[in-house]
Amino acid sequence: MLDTTALNQQRNFFEGHADIWLFGYGSLIWKADFAYLERRPAFITGWARRFWQGSHDHRGTPDAPGRVATLIRAQGAVCHGMAYRITSDVLAPLDVREKNGYLREKVPLTFLNENGGTAGQSEGLIYLASEDNPAFLGEAPLADMARQINQAHGPSGPNREYLLNLASALRELGVDDAHIFALEQQLDRLPGYQ
């Protein structure tokens, strides 16, 4: 199976930095099972969140992959998420978690304050599954993606849970993400996963 761990260990964009801002836009928003010093709502621009990445290791299997979030380039788009200030030792387990096609990339982040106003910028790290990675599934009709998500299960649990947790985390952050909420609505119309 695909494994980007070794590649990511060469991608040391923040070598020598005491801490690093990691920007999460998918499960890293709602499943922060790693140590962090601080976290702040933030956004990145020029990227849109899409359920176009296959999950063969967490929310699906090699034979029946699930669908999880990645980012695609989209001029003028704003992608909201959560930024975590971490120390560099946290990256090794994250590389393993994100090994199915995600690569470390450096992007500019903008932080938000409690009132939703902007509160400074920093360079940050994202895990990006670009369309040339072998686990990339790409676009499909919304209803088909919802059906796939409804059926897929993997070692980390039902794929459905990933989408529903992400949708509620975004709602909690006050973020309107049309793609995610439309998928959630499609999922609501389907019977519960078996």
Which positions lie near ligand SIN, rule CB under 6 A? 24-28, 68-69, 98, 127
- Residue 27 or 186: the one with the smaller Cβ distance to ligand SIN is 27
Neighbours of 118 (CB within 10 A): 11
Choose between 42 and 68: whose C-beta lies nearer to ligand SIN.
68
Beta pairing class for 38-55 and 157-158: unpaired
Residue nearest to ligand SIN (CB): 26
Residue 28 or 112 having the CB closest to ligand SIN: 28
> Which residue number, 98 or 177, has a Cβ lying nearer to ligand SIN?
98
CB of 5 to ligand SIN, least distance (A): 14
- Give whichever of 99 and 191 is closer to ligand SIN, judged by the CB atom: 99
Those residues with Cβ within 8 angstroms of residue 110's Cβ, 6 or more apart along the chain or in another chain: 42, 43, 44, 45, 118, 120, 121
Paired with 39 in beta bridges are: 84
Q: Measured from the CB of residue 51, what is the shortest distance to ligand SIN in angstroms?
A: 10
Residue 75 CB, nearest approach to ligand SIN (Å)? 21
Question: C-beta of 30: minimal distance to ligand SIN in Å?
Answer: 9
**Which residues form the catalytic set?**
98
We find the least distance from the C-beta atom of residue 191 to ligand SIN, in angstroms, to be 25
Q: What phi and psi, each to the nearest 5 degrees, are found at residue 92?
A: -60, -50
